[in-house]
Structure 1
Amino acid sequence: MRGELNGLRTLISRESRSAYYVHCFAHQLQLVVVAVAKKHFEVGDFFDKVSVLVNVSIASCKRKDMMREIQRDEIEKGISNGEIKTGKGLNQEASLQRPGSTRWGSHYKTLLRLVELFSSVIKVLEYVQDEGLDNTHRSQANGLLKYIHTFDFVFYLHLMLVILGLTENLSMALQRKDQDILNVVSLVKSTKRQLQKLRDDGWDSFVKKVLYFCEKHNTEILNMENDFIDPRKPRKKTSITNLHHYQVNCFYTVLDMQLQEFNDRFNEVNSELLVCTSALSPIDSFREFDKEKLLRLVEFYPEDFSCVESVSLEHQLDIYIDNVRGDEMFADLRNLGDLARVMVETRKHISHPLVYRLLKLALTLLVATATVERCFSGMKIVKTVLRNRIGDQFLSDCLLLYRKSLFDDVTNETVIKRFQVMSERRIHL
């Protein structure tokens, strides 16, 4: 889709300079995180090991029950020692969650649970290593026990936990159906600033957390002043210290890659385009209306507005906003689609042709939230291999039924009555 040479975006852009590619913001955020895992060897290896770790730890009901029992014993011990507080909603039963590439935020939840259940996971792996019936699982457990006691594992566990924690709030906001574009762009900028702040000033506090975790769980602790030994080439001198490797080659490098991916995927052109488009929003009596932003939006479409029309639009916008704010038909509109429909119904698209043209261009932009992704997911569920010859109308009806929220106010009696009058039935429903 995004290919610079022969991708669909490039082919369409060759046909029209005014065709803009706006990717789903929630999907872009997921790609930002995944891109680092693919490009950075140690991070990619870390996530691969975490996936195997989860599979081995909760591969059977017996191991799940064992983890719950170990966790319950530790909580009871902590409560009796006064180390753990009690109260409503505290000390709930927890279990590891399998991460999924298509379930946004699942990696963050997996790492959170892994930190919380670290001692329990170690005991389960020790049991699998000593008592497991499957030789494959026993060897996997043995390798995982060696890996999770290394400084590398603890370091990347906390590093990705911090990065995913900073992006989690943005991820949840982007998946809301009613998300405001202005708020989305603001959150993206705030997330980038926090990542930059972590990169510039967060090293010392980050290392303290890593070392504290290592001491608490008796894992490997490195002297940062010693020479770094590459585990892949242990006999070769690296001529750098542990501090340089973990701070520069790992911490700074991963964060720089994250920031670069943010800048590449959430570029200023798309962000500004969406911010300017939001100025057409009819919500709350056109609260977001901004004449300057709409004139800037016109500059994105030079082939659709001549110089004379751009000057004329500047004067037409003043009349337009005064006209629609004083009309009760435009009082409770929720989106640009409703605005376009009411403008046609009231024939204001004839009175304000340039504004209506700008509105039609804005409607061609994709919704930059997870709504579009949900539509495609729903389509994949409805249109399966067994329904590969489904017609457009039947597909539309099935997708309408799939969106259950639309039928919250429809009673069973109404459905039965409508079905009954469609044709004669042998029995009365």
Structure 2
Amino acid sequence: MRGEWNGLQALFMKDCPYAYYVHCFAHRLQLALVTASREVASIHKFFEKLTFFVNVVGSSTKRHDELQAAQSKEIEKLLETGEIVTGKGKNQVGTVKRAGDTRWGSHFNSICSLISMYEATCTVLKIIAKDAKKFAQRADADSSYNHLKSFDFIFILHLMKEITGTTDLLCQALQKQSQDVVNAVLLVRSTKALIQDLRENGWDKLFANVVSFCEKHDIEVPDLNDCHSTTRFGRSRLEENQVTIEHYFRVEFFFTTIDKQLQELNSRFSEQAMDLLTLSCALSPEDGYKAFDINTICTLVEKYYPMNFSDQEKINLPFHLHHFLFEARESSTLKNLSTIQELCSCLVAAIPANGQPKKHLLLDRLLRLVMTLPVSTATTERSFSAMKIIKSKLRNKMGHEFLANSMSVYIERDISECISYESIIDDFKSLEKRNVRL
């Protein structure tokens, strides 16, 4: 659907040149970013090893108990040395977490759990490598321990913690059932800016954290000035392909992985889409219409919705907006609004019985156009998931009308829970009597 030349986007643009492509915000953004980083071979191997470690350490209740016992001893040791302090809610014994494709933020949580329980994990792996009954289990534990003690793994572990931690807030926010345009734009822009800042200024801090972690856990840190061959033939075969170790980690891992993240974010949130959403933010009624900019709103109409307003309406629009802004700041129902959705709802509530609002026609039309942008995030995706629950194998022949009614009740549970059985019975009783055949 993203295809500009042969995909669905191209078909829309052919029939309607004023259509705008905005990627579905909630379509598994976290997994898309993880998949983008996995295009780097070493990052892909890292996530495979991360899952393998969790499976080896937490595959049985016995190993889980050993892990928690090792973590308790580690906490006692740190308390004795004064590296950590006691307090309410501190120093909790946890476990390593498995990353899941259906859980938002699970990759970030999995990385953080391994860092916090690193020493306990190493202890359990050494126990398994020594005392396991089966040779395969001993071999898996020994291989896992060697990878866990490698500098490459520790570097990628901290790198992915920085990247997934930076994007986690945006991923978590976009899974909500409703997301305001203003917040969506701010989160996207801040995430892009922070990722770019990490690329430009984050190397020294990241490497210092990695070195500190390695020194704490007795992991050998290579000399950054030593040569590192970029080929699989070794240094003696192709001397011209040799680079320093600093160049290898900084370019092959750090820059490449971050560039993949930026590329994925830019493809999902293009400049045109961000410009459209940014201009739409001028309609926000938050803080007494502080951001309600009439010039920006007129630019939005001229640039993105020229076919929806006539030339005379474009001339009248700024004057109508001035009247609305004056009335909104004086009205008790309009001045305390905070989102574009609330503003649109207030204008809809003011529509008389004939279906045509007496005033603010142009603003109402523009708000309806802006509200069609897919910033409702996970609502649509959850609606499709509800179809699998409602239309099961036992009910695979239900009609479209019955399916739509059932999904409406299921999706809008907050509303349906407020409806009592007595009110439903009363509604049926109030219906006209039907002819009954005897």
TM exceeding 0.5: yes
- Tell me the residue number matched to 1:252: 255
Question: Is 2:278 the counterpart of 1:268?
Answer: no
Does the 8 Å contact 1:283/1:335 carry over to 2? no
| Matched AA of 1:42 | S
Alignment of 1:37-48 (within 5 A): 37-48=37-48
What is the CA deviation profile of residues 329-367 of structure 1, one whole-angstrom value per residue up to 9, with x for unaligned ones?
656765355145224337663544333332332232222
- Tell me the residue number matched to 1:199: 199
Which of 348, 359, 373 matches 1:365? 373
- Tell me the residue number matched to 2:317: 313
Q: Distance in 1 between matches of 2:93 and 2:387?
A: 36
Alignment of 1:27-426 (within 5 A): 27=27, 29-30=29-30, 33-133=33-133, 136-177=136-177, 179-230=179-230, 232-234=232-234, 236-237=237-238, 238-281=241-284, 286=289, 288-298=291-301, 299-323=303-327, 330=334, 334-335=341-342, 337-345=344-352, 349-390=357-398, 391-406=400-415, 414-415=420-421, 418=424
Does the 8 Å contact 1:23/1:368 carry over to 2? no
2:283 is paired with a residue whose SS is coil
Does the 8 Å contact 2:177/2:379 carry over to 1? yes
1:109 Cα offset (Å): 0.5
Does the 8 Å contact 2:67/2:121 carry over to 1? yes
- Tell me the residue number matched to 1:427: none
Q: Distance in 2 between matches of 1:388 and 1:324?
A: 50
1:97 Cα offset (Å): 1.3
| Matched AA of 2:268 | R
Does the 8 Å contact 1:320/1:352 carry over to 2? yes
Q: Distance in 1 between matches of 2:397 and 2:276?
A: 38
Does the 8 Å contact 1:282/1:339 carry over to 2? no
5+ residue gaps, structure 1, are 424-429
| Matched AA of 1:376 | F
Distance 1:297 1:150, change over 3 A: same
Does the 8 Å contact 2:230/2:243 carry over to 1? no
What is the CA deviation profile of residues 54-106 of structure 1, one whole-angstrom value per residue up to 9, with x for unaligned ones?
12221122211111111112212322343331110011121111112332211
Distance 1:69 1:289, change over 3 A: same
| Matched AA of 1:94 | G
Distance 1:134 1:373, change over 3 A: farther
Q: Distance in 1 between matches of 2:204 and 2:300?
A: 44
Q: Distance in 2 between matches of 1:19 and 1:262?
A: 21
Distance 1:187 1:115, change over 3 A: same
Distance 1:422 1:335, change over 3 A: same
Distance 1:363 1:387, change over 3 A: farther
Q: Distance in 2 between matches of 1:234 and 1:377?
A: 51
1:240 is paired with a residue whose SS is strand
Q: Distance in 2 between matches of 1:138 and 1:419?
A: 67
Query: TM-score if structure 2 supplies the norm length?
Result: 0.84
Distance 1:19 1:350, change over 3 A: farther
Does the 8 Å contact 1:192/1:259 carry over to 2? yes
Q: Distance in 2 between matches of 1:142 and 1:194?
A: 38
1:155 Cα offset (Å): 0.8
1:16 Cα offset (Å): 1.2
- Tell me the residue number matched to 1:426: none
1:408 Cα offset (Å): 6.4
5+ residue gaps, structure 2, are 430-438
Percent identity over the alignment?
A: 37
Distance 1:250 1:406, change over 3 A: same
Does the 8 Å contact 1:24/1:373 carry over to 2? no
1:116 Cα offset (Å): 0.7
- Tell me the residue number matched to 2:434: none
Question: Which sits farther off after the overlay, 19-28 or 161-170?
Answer: 19-28
Q: Distance in 2 between matches of 1:417 and 1:300?
A: 46
Does the 8 Å contact 2:328/2:334 carry over to 1? yes
Q: Distance in 1 between matches of 2:229 and 2:64?
A: 37
Q: Distance in 2 between matches of 1:201 and 1:154?
A: 20
Query: What do you get for the CA RMSD once the two structures are aligned?
Result: 3.0
Count of matched residue pairs: 420
| Matched AA of 1:246 | F
| Matched AA of 1:375 | S
Does the 8 Å contact 1:295/1:310 carry over to 2? yes
Does the 8 Å contact 1:330/1:342 carry over to 2? no
Does the 8 Å contact 2:31/2:101 carry over to 1? no
- Tell me the residue number matched to 2:435: none
Query: TM-score if structure 1 supplies the norm length?
Result: 0.86
Does the 8 Å contact 2:37/2:260 carry over to 1? no
Distance 1:400 1:191, change over 3 A: same
| Matched AA of 1:257 | K
Question: Is 2:24 the counterpart of 1:24?
Answer: yes
1:402 Cα offset (Å): 5.0
Q: Distance in 1 between matches of 2:363 and 2:38?
A: 45
Distance 1:134 1:290, change over 3 A: farther
1:344 is paired with a residue whose SS is coil
Q: Distance in 1 between matches of 2:155 and 2:36?
A: 16
Question: Which sits farther off after the overlay, 223-232 or 291-300?
Answer: 223-232
| Matched AA of 1:53 | F
